[in-house]
Structure 1
């Protein structure tokens, strides 16, 4: 497994890959968990070569967010990736990705960039779109792999690929969950044992929203949002950021809950800000994630 730290090395590695051989890219910020590894395994199954990037991207963090304390363990990550058969790991520094004269950013617009996560984290999707475009340009993968947990990020990247005519297939995999329903996330490591138990409130709130839609046949987004919010309010260690019903492609709020639709939630539990979602597909079935065994 090659560990690559510079843009030039990454370009050379890609240029030396056999002509016509497929390459898959799995972008990550490291501190890998089983959710990341499920993406890696899928990439390894579908491509002849796999590149995983590990880069805590500073331009997608706000001024008072957790850039400095974001969990990192590169030696462990490399061991995990080598065991999966990954061919290359791209681990650039911030200075390598954004040298002193760097001035060009990708600026998504509209509700997709300004609502929900965009409202809570201004500038976040500017950072996401910029780094993803750079990674796609450097690695030139046939396929790139992302998790449904970051539903708004996925929608932004889909728009990026479509709008800029990028020749890459996006593969979106279901959220992987702990046995108690908590979505796997590197930020779960911030939680105390009590906070870890409390964090399941996001999953329970989404289940309440789903039940409100199914059991009571409610198409009123306000009623579904209320059902989710009440569950979070019942947990003393949690503070709701938002509980929304949105179009999964545009992130515009829905006036009536009809498929496709996304139940999206964000909440603070202790010092961790966590996100999660359930997707109501166009065919009326739900994507709620996969409970790990």
Structure 2
């Protein structure tokens, strides 16, 4: 596995070997089983796999969250190498933007500032700016992402359409712990009691799913159920809950056939988000 720390070196390498079949996985580092699942899927479909690891403070809800985020570059490189990655791209800010940058990518849609975007407004702008740079310079044929990142996937799809990139988005199932908690880098920051409470997020969503299957199609009633359940636990702070139309991710009042319920909570200093699809 080659380790690249600058965009110049990365693109120079690809110019030499060609860009016939490339799979790209963008991360913030702290690789885990969810990332490994993406790598395995990419390995089966591409000649070359590139995993990027780049942290930007704008992709966090606070400076504290940015500082607390796990950093394990050497361990990440070992994980990526064992999983079959060809290029591990881990630039500093200067490695990605050697001349600095005053240009940002933002999509003119309310989705930019809803859900996760309402918690930290610069998050998707930062993500899309980096994604646009990598898509234009690396030119991957396939981009791999987890189902849990549905909002990111929707915005990325629009970016790819608008800039006419020839890149297919591959969505993989979300990886979960045995107790239902989504596998994520932030889980390591949870205190023991917080970790015990964390799976309640998913289990509460499952209660809403059961209510829907029993005939409750009112978004208001389902959200009230979720809010009531979560507020039973004083250590859990509810950030948002919404019922969405699946394709456009817009709020709906009544579920006709299917919907997506999303919820975000805070446990101590850690934010956790989860979702569940409602289908007949």
* TM-score clears 0.5: yes
Task: Say whether residues 1:26 and 2:10 are aligned partners.
Answer: no
Moved over 3 A (4+): 62-65, 98-101
Q: 1:198 maps to what in 2?
A: 197
Aligned-pair CA distance for 1:12: 1.0
CA distance in 1, matches of 2:268, 2:211: 28
Report deviation, 1:97. 2.2
- Deviations for 1:148-205, whole angstroms, at most 9, x for unmatched residues? 1122112111121122221100011111100000001100111011110100111012
Name the structure 2 match of 1:262: 260
* DSSP-derived class of the 2:67 partner: coil
Distance 1:180 1:194 in 2: 14
Tell me how far apart the structure 2 counterparts of residues 231 and 87 of structure 1 sit (CA, whole Å): 46
In the alignment, what sits opposite 2:187? 188
Aligned partners of 2:39 and 2:84 also within 8 Å: no
The residue correspondences of 1:138-149 to structure 2 (distance < 5 A) are 138-149=137-148
Measured after TM superposition, the shift of residue 63 of structure 1 is 4.5
Residue matched to 1:288: none
The alignment partner of 1:68 has SS state of helix
Q: Which runs of 5+ in 2 are unaligned?
A: none
- SS of equivalent to 1:150: helix
Q: CA deviation at 1:260?
A: 4.3
Q: Under a length normalisation based on structure 1, what TM-score does the superposition of the two structures give?
A: 0.91
Check if 1:150 corresponds to 2:185: no
- Distance in 1 (alpha carbons) for counterparts of 2:210 and 2:97: 46
Q: Indicate if the aligned counterparts of 1:266 and 1:276 stay in contact, CA closer than 8 A.
A: yes
Give a deviation string over 1:62-95, Cα, whole Å, max 9, x none. Answer: 4545112210101111111111111000001012
- TM-score w.r.t. structure 2 length? 0.95
Output one character per residue of 1:225-266: Cα deviation in whole Å (capped at 9) or x when no partner. 112222211223211001110123332111212344211110
Alpha-carbon distance between aligned partners in 1 of 2:114 and 2:249, rounded to the nearest angstrom: 7
Map of 1:1-293 to 2, 5 A cutoff?
1-18=1-18, 21-99=20-98, 101-215=100-214, 217-280=215-278, 284=279
Cα deviations across residues 128-165 of structure 1 (Å, max 9, x unaligned)?
11111112122211000011112211211112112222
Residue pair 1:150, 1:276 contacting (<8 A) in 2 also: no
Give the root-mean-square deviation of aligned CA atoms: 1.6
User: What count of residue pairs does the alignment treat as equivalent?
Assistant: 280
Distance 1:156-1:37 versus aligned 2 partners, 3 A rule: same
Distance in structure 1 (CA, Å) of the matches to 2:93 and 2:67: 13
* Change beyond 3 A, Cα 1:146–1:262: same
| Correspondence for 1:291 | none
CA distance in 1, matches of 2:50, 2:34: 16
